[in-house]
Amino acid sequence: MIKFDNVGFRYETGPEILSDISFELAAGSYHFLTGPSGAGKTSLMSLMYLGHRPTRGSLHMFEHNVGFLPRERLFEIRQKIGIVFQDFRLMNHLTAFDNVALPLRILKRPEKEIRNNVTELLDWVGLGESKDRLPPTLSGGQQQRIAIARAIIARPRLLLADEPTGNLDDTIGFRLMGLFDQLNKMGTTIVIATHNTHIMELFGHPRLILAHGRLTQETRQGPITQKIRNVS
Amino acid sequence: MSVKRPPFYVKAQEILLRTVLGSKGYDLPFGSDADRGYLLLLVGLMSFLAVLACAGTLSLHAMTQRWSSGLENKITIEIKAEDRDGTMLSPETIRLETEKITEMLQKNPAVKSFEALQEKEIKKLVSPWLGEDFSLEDIPLPGLIAVELNVSSPEALEKLTGSIKKLSPTARVDTHREWLQDILRFTGTLQWIALFVALIVALTTVTAISSGVKSRMAVHKDQVEILHLIGASDKYIARQFQWHAIIIALLGSILGTAAGLGMATFILLLSGQSGTSLIPQISLDSTSMLIFIFLPVIASIISGVTARFTVLRTLSLMP
Ligand SMILES: Nc1ncnc2c1ncn2[C@@H]1O[C@H](COP(=O)(O)OP(=O)(O)OP(=O)(O)O)[C@@H](O)[C@H]1O
Ligand SMILES: [Mg+2]
């Protein structure tokens, strides 16, 4: 589903931030992406959601070589991806409801279906009361939940979440991580960038570790996850 | 703190956008754009100009049509008051020649009707130049005969002119064609100018819409990028700008057209009141009205296409 082959990346004429990145993620997999701040997690994600193109090497997304994909076809791939941006990137003039509805509207789903699904999801993430409010009037954690809802509302085949629980308390954080697990079970491939070792330990998915522009893979399953899974 | 109520066109725009794009209105924050008032005004003024240009052309057209059809089969015969050497003829001679010619006209089958102008009438015609009280004895006046023909073929006219010349060598046959041609040439030029004005109006609208769209794309660069990243195609984004432009143009143009029609009616009313018989009574008929109803539609289409094209082109130049 995702295949990096000796990918290198730099912003304009800046230094190379990612070097010789090679890895492959199978459909239906679930990975944590971690590494120190400034290591390039967000940059790596932006290559996956086609926000930037690799400066060298080849990147395949959904069996398409991104390097050769014409601009006007990028949206087809992006429509299969749900993204939670580290800085949310909500539309500040649209209500919480309309922000979450946006991906469905882009897909031209019927308005009735949109109303039902969006309302249900907003209720689920605890924003049912705030659905008519504009993002700037909401707290960081509330905005983050809108961002997450927007990323998953259209049932993407790939979910890329950049620090999705950074602003959330543990209760709602775990609840959302549980939701991601549910999505994963239904077939969504997931990559979550996070610093949160606690969460990584708890859920124990394999890790992609970025440091000094290079990526290493760690396939260990955390023991705590096993415990939780056994308990529940 | 008092909340400023949005101007009426903002409300109208929002309602229209909601109708077109569904309950959500639009995804980009056009509502906060400062330039839409100007754009509305500009499209309004352009429509206003277009209406005036159109109304001018249409009434000129109606006018020339009436003139040319009214003069088609008419000629005027002038029996000159002096002979070829420049010697003045006595009024008596002129009257005689006029009578000879009218006798001939009476028998000519090509002539439908004719009327020799009486001295009194001729006097009235020249009085603006000569004053009321002069006698024919002082200045000999030409004889004038207005003739209406059954046919207007050049051959028939030539034959008639020949028979007139035989009776009075100095008589002149005036077919009005010359000055009619001058007038037609003049109004033709005016119509070209009107067309040119319409073209400039359209071009100005295109330029303004296009640069407006470009600046709006720059202002909303971040939002456009978000839309892209969450899967919107260039066409989806273009549609937003396109409908926004269409609705601004529609509103602006309806206002401008209404104002232009009001102005045109006013001008026509004034020209009608002046009572000059040279300018026939002109009014706008129902076909012309249809054209004006279509003007806002045309303005909307021009604006929409321009906006769409501009967005797609600008986006296609992005990486
Ligand atoms: N738009 C940009 N232009 C130029 N340099 C950038 C840009 N975005 C990030 N960088 C640089 O790229 C490097 C990696 O940044 P990135 O945001 O990918 O790190 P990160 O791992 O996501 O960090 P964090 O954990 O703090 O989110 C940093 O050195 C940063 O300065
Ligand atoms: Mg980051």
**What ipTM does this complex have?**
0.91
CB-based contact (8 Å) between A89 and chain B?
yes
Interface of B with A in 20-39 (CB under 8 A): 22-24, 27, 29, 31-32
Indicate the pTM of the whole model. Answer: 0.77
Same domain as B78, residue B64: no
Sign of CA dihedral B163, B168, B170, B174: negative
**Domain of residue A8, residue span:** 1-80+157-232
Taken as a whole, chain A contains a residue count of 232
CA distances, A148 to each of A141, A152, A192, B218, B224 (Å): 11, 6, 12, 27, 20
**CA of A84 vs chain B CAs: smallest distance (Å):** 10
Interface of B with A in 236-265 (CB under 8 A): 236
Asked, for residue B246, whether it belongs to a domain, the answer is yes
Q: Which of B119, B151, B175 is the endpoint of a domain?
A: B175
Asked, for residue B13, whether it belongs to a domain, the answer is no
Q: Is the CB of A11 under 6 A from ligand 1?
A: yes
A171 within 8 A of A93, measured Cβ to Cβ: no
CA A216 to ligand 2 center in whole angstroms: 17
Asked, for residue B12, whether it belongs to a domain, the answer is no
**At B153, is the pLDDT very low, low, confident or very high (cuts 50, 70, 90)?**
confident
CA A37 to ligand 1 center in whole angstroms: 8
The DSSP call for residue A94 is S
Q: Give the pair of three-digit tokens for residue A93.
A: 């003039």
Q: Give the pair of three-digit tokens for residue A222.
A: 């955390």
The pLDDT score that the predictor gives to residue B31 is 65
Same domain as A194, residue A133: no
Same domain as A134, residue A163: no
Same domain as A65, residue A9: yes
Same domain as B29, residue B45: yes
Asked, for residue A75, whether it belongs to a domain, the answer is yes
The pLDDT score that the predictor gives to residue B2 is 46
Question: What domain count does chain B have?
Answer: 2
CATH number at residue B85: 3.30.70.3040
Same domain as B226, residue B144: no
**Domain of residue B98, residue span:** 73-175
With a cut of 80, say whether residue A177 has pLDDT above it.
yes
CB contact under 8 A, B29 and A92: yes
Asked, for residue A200, whether it belongs to a domain, the answer is yes
Asked, for residue A86, whether it belongs to a domain, the answer is no
Of B213, B235, B217, the C-alpha closest to B225 is B217
Q: Which of A172-176, A226-230, B252-256 has the lowest mean pLDDT?
A: A226-230
Q: Look up residue B108 and give its amino acid.
A: N
Radius of gyration of the CA atoms of chain A, in A: 18
Same domain as B231, residue B149: no
CATH number at residue A219: 3.40.50.300
A191 within 8 A of A159, measured Cβ to Cβ: yes
Helix, strand, or coil (residue B261): helix
B146 within 8 A of B74, measured Cβ to Cβ: yes
**At B194, is the pLDDT very low, low, confident or very high (cuts 50, 70, 90)?**
confident
CB-based contact (8 Å) between A73 and chain B?
no
Asked, for residue B8, whether it belongs to a domain, the answer is no
Asked, for residue A19, whether it belongs to a domain, the answer is yes
Q: Give the pair of three-digit tokens for residue A122.
A: 């907003």
Question: What domain count does chain A have?
Answer: 2
Same domain as B60, residue B198: yes
Taken as a whole, chain B contains a residue count of 319
Same domain as B214, residue B260: yes
Q: Give the pair of three-digit tokens for residue A74.
A: 């990028």
Interface of B with A in 90-149 (CB under 8 A): none
Sequence-distant (6+) residues with CB within 8 A of A160 are A45, A48, A49, A81, A82, A83, A84, A151, A191
Same domain as B200, residue B89: no
Pairing of strands A16-25, A2-10: antiparallel
Q: Which of A81-90, A188-197, B106-115 has the lowest mean pLDDT?
A: B106-115
With CA atoms as reference, the chain B residue closest to A67 would be B319
Asked, for residue B2, whether it belongs to a domain, the answer is no
Q: Is the CB of A213 under 6 A from ligand 1?
A: no
- From chain A, the residues in CB contact with B18 under 8 A are none
Same domain as B54, residue B186: yes
Asked, for residue B128, whether it belongs to a domain, the answer is yes
Same domain as B290, residue B247: yes
CB-based contact (8 Å) between A119 and chain B?
no
For a mutational test of ligand 1's pocket, the pick from A42, A86, A192, A215, i.e. the residue with the most ligand atoms closer than 8 A to its C-beta, is A42
Same domain as B54, residue B203: yes
Burial status of residue B120 (CB atoms within 10 A of its CB: 0-12, 13-18, 19 or more) = exposed
Same domain as A103, residue A171: no
Asked, for residue B132, whether it belongs to a domain, the answer is yes
**At B118, is the pLDDT very low, low, confident or very high (cuts 50, 70, 90)?**
confident
Neighbour tally for B154: CB within 10 Å: 9
- From chain B, the residues in CB contact with A81 under 8 A are 231
Helix, strand, or coil (residue A163): coil
- From chain B, the residues in CB contact with A107 under 8 A are 231
Asked, for residue A135, whether it belongs to a domain, the answer is yes
- From chain B, the residues in CB contact with A88 under 8 A are none
With CA atoms as reference, the chain A residue closest to B22 would be A111
**At B282, is the pLDDT very low, low, confident or very high (cuts 50, 70, 90)?**
low
CB contact under 8 A, B223 and A91: yes
Task: Please give the number of the atom of ligand 1 that sits closest to the Cα of A41.
Answer: 21
Asked, for residue A195, whether it belongs to a domain, the answer is yes
Q: Which of B113, B147, B175 is the endpoint of a domain?
A: B175
Is the pLDDT higher at B154 or at B230? B230
Asked, for residue A87, whether it belongs to a domain, the answer is no
Same domain as A66, residue A1: yes
With CA atoms as reference, the chain B residue closest to A88 would be B226
Same domain as A68, residue A4: yes
Q: Who among B22, B226, B233 is closest to A89 (CB)? A: B226
Same domain as A104, residue A70: no
Residue position matching structure tokens 């005689």: B96
Same domain as A36, residue A14: yes
A57/A69 Cα distance (integer angstroms): 14
Same domain as A228, residue A123: no
Q: Which of B175, B193, B222 is the endpoint of a domain?
A: B175
Asked, for residue B198, whether it belongs to a domain, the answer is yes
Same domain as B85, residue B160: yes
Neighbour tally for A68: CB within 10 Å: 7
CB-based contact (8 Å) between A102 and chain B?
yes
Span B218-264, pLDDT tens digits: 989 999 999 999 999 999 999 989 988 888 899 899 999 999 988 88
Same domain as A172, residue A142: no
Same domain as B201, residue B65: yes
Same domain as A170, residue A149: no
Same domain as A117, residue A180: no
Of B233, B236, B238, the C-alpha closest to B312 is B238
Q: Is the CB of A34 under 6 A from ligand 1?
A: no
